[in-house]
Structure formats: C-alpha cells, structure tokens
Amino acid sequence: MSVAVAITVNDGVVLATDSAQMAKDNAGRVNIHYQKRKLFPLHDSLPLGLSTVGVNRIAGVSVGSLVYELKQLFTGKVDHNGESWKLDPASYTVKDVVDRVKEYLFDGFYLPAFDTLLEKASLTVHVGGISAGAKFPEFAEMEFLGQHVNGPRFVSAGNAVHFTISGAAEACHRLVMGYSSAMSNLLTQSGMKPEEAREFLNKARSALFPNIFSEAMPLAEAADVARFLVETEIRFSTLTPDPDVVGGEVQLAVISREHGFKWLSKHKNAILD
C-alpha cells in the first residue's frame, strides 16, 4: 500500500508521501523496497505537483517515468501524438492539468494494461497547484480502479483548510478523526442504521479530538502537520502484524505562488532529479 497526505491552505498545497513499495511477482513472492519515488513536480517553473499511491508499474514502466514524461509534455519539450501539451503560464488551469493527467495515465496506460496488473491494483493520484491568475490554490484527487475513475474531486482553499489522505491511513484516521476507520462498519454490524452511525461519528469526532487545522494555518505549519502524519503512519506500520507497507523516508513538498514547487524533504535518489 503506502500513504499520501495532502493539505490545502490559503497559501498553498502540501503534498507528502512515504517511500515504501510492495512488489509481488507472478509466483506470489513479495518484495518491499523503501526508496520509491512518489512525489513529483509537474513543471520546471509553474506551481504544480503530483503524488501517487498504489500500483507502481504499468506495462513494465514505472509510474515515476510516466509522470516525468508528463512533465516533459507540460514544459513543451515533447509533443503528445503530434499535439502540443505545453502549458501557457498566462492561462493554464489546474483543472486542465488534471484532465491531461487523467488522459495520459489512465486512458493511455492504466486502462489498456489493467488486465495484466497483479491483483488488479488501483492507483490514486493527488494533484496540487495554482492556476494562472488565481488567488487560491487548488487540489484534486482521483482513483483509477478497473475501468473506472473515481473523481477527480476538486477543492479550493478559499479561506478553508482541506485535508486528504489516501492509502494506508489507520493511524492518521485515529489522530485526525478521533476513532478507527473500522468504526463505521462496526456500528452498522451492531445494528445501528448507516445514517445513525454517521451522525454518531460526527458527534464523536468533535468530542474526542480537537480540530488540528485552522483557516489561518500558515503553509509551513501545514507542512509540519503533513510530515508528522506520514511519520506517524510509518511508525504505526512497524507495530502491525502485516508487512511494513508504509515506510522509508518522508517525501514532502509545498506548492505556492511565491516559490512554485519546493522540496522540503526529498527521496534518497535525489541524483535522479
């Protein structure tokens, strides 16, 4: 599995992931690697970035290589089937970028190769950025699952904090929500109606744990929270009976109008940048 955290505040977007990768071969053997790159800039100068969690290779090509090719397209260094995807700094939008990401990764690679993926693995993509001329940052999440795409789900800061976590998130769920992610199923299995369970959990969240996010949270503090959550999920993973599916170093970046895409914590393979 793995974990990816995104926090959107007025000043920008924070993207954070772990560095673990679990790979299974056709014989069912499992290898876990701890230097997998999962967080990427999408342009050399524009405030755009992407992180992933889930399947790490499609048709023999790493997801990281595919995202690098996307960056080449967005910077105009190559064309896509004779068509230019170069982003115009004066008019590009995050929505257009997300649409291109979906077209390239899902339509071009994931969907045609889905039947060959071991265990029909999903791929979740987080995209953060700031559109040309926009005051607030935007974030989108989409999940590639079989022949369908869940999302993209868009949010814009707009004087509010938005928090998203994908992948293995049990520890983070307990910290941010105040209860286990399995609690909803447990309540319904105990006889509570789904709407009653949701109402109970909404009350429980405010009563059990204070909100750690605020509308005025600076980007630097949001980055501290994202790092803390990923580190906590990594530590929690070492205590569970399952293999360490979350691990390695924290990959962390912020995206803002002032600084574009800025690394705060890189993967070990920085030589590949």
267 pLDDT higher than 80: no
**Omega of the bond leading into 218 within 30 degrees of 0 (cis):** no
Q: Is residue 197 part of a domain?
A: no
- The helix/strand/coil state of 72 is helix
Considering 12-26, 50-64, 246-260, the range whose residues carry the highest mean pLDDT is 246-260
Q: Is residue 183 part of a domain?
A: no
For residue 61, what is the DSSP state?
E
Give the pTM. Answer: 0.90
Q: Is residue 196 part of a domain?
A: no
Q: Is residue 200 part of a domain?
A: no
Contact 191, 183 (CB under 8 A): no
Q: Which amino acid belongs to residue 46?
A: L
Q: Which amino acid belongs to residue 205?
A: R
**Of 48, 5, 98, the residue nearest 255 (C-alpha):** 48
Edge-first strand listing for the sheet containing 123-129? 39-41, 48-54, 123-129, 138-145, 148-156
H-helix segments, 131-193 = 170-177, 183-189
Range of the domain at 108: 3-168+213-272
Contact 248, 34 (CB under 8 A): yes
Mean per-residue pLDDT, 184-213: 85
Parallel/antiparallel/unpaired status of strands 148-156 and 162-167: unpaired
Q: Which amino acid belongs to residue 176?
A: V
271 pLDDT higher than 60: no
Mean per-residue pLDDT, 236-243: 79
Mean per-residue pLDDT, 112-131: 85
For residue 249, what is the DSSP state?
P
Q: Is residue 176 part of a domain?
A: no
Say what the pLDDT of residue 11 is: 93
99 pLDDT higher than 70: yes
Q: Write down how long the chain is.
A: 273
- The helix/strand/coil state of 195 is helix
Mean per-residue pLDDT, 182-187: 89
Say what the pLDDT of residue 179 is: 82
- Average pLDDT of the chain to the nearest whole number: 88
Q: Is residue 89 part of a domain?
A: yes
155 conformational bin, left if phi > 0, alpha if psi -120 to 50, beta if neither: beta
Q: Is residue 225 part of a domain?
A: yes
- Kindly state the tokens that stand for 136: 């607030």
Say what the pLDDT of residue 266 is: 80
Number of domains in the chain: 1
Parallel/antiparallel/unpaired status of strands 162-167 and 3-9: antiparallel
Parallel/antiparallel/unpaired status of strands 48-54 and 123-129: antiparallel
6 pLDDT higher than 90: yes
CATH of the domain at 236: 3.60.20.10
Contact 71, 43 (CB under 8 A): yes
Q: Is residue 60 part of a domain?
A: yes
154 pLDDT higher than 50: yes
- The helix/strand/coil state of 200 is helix
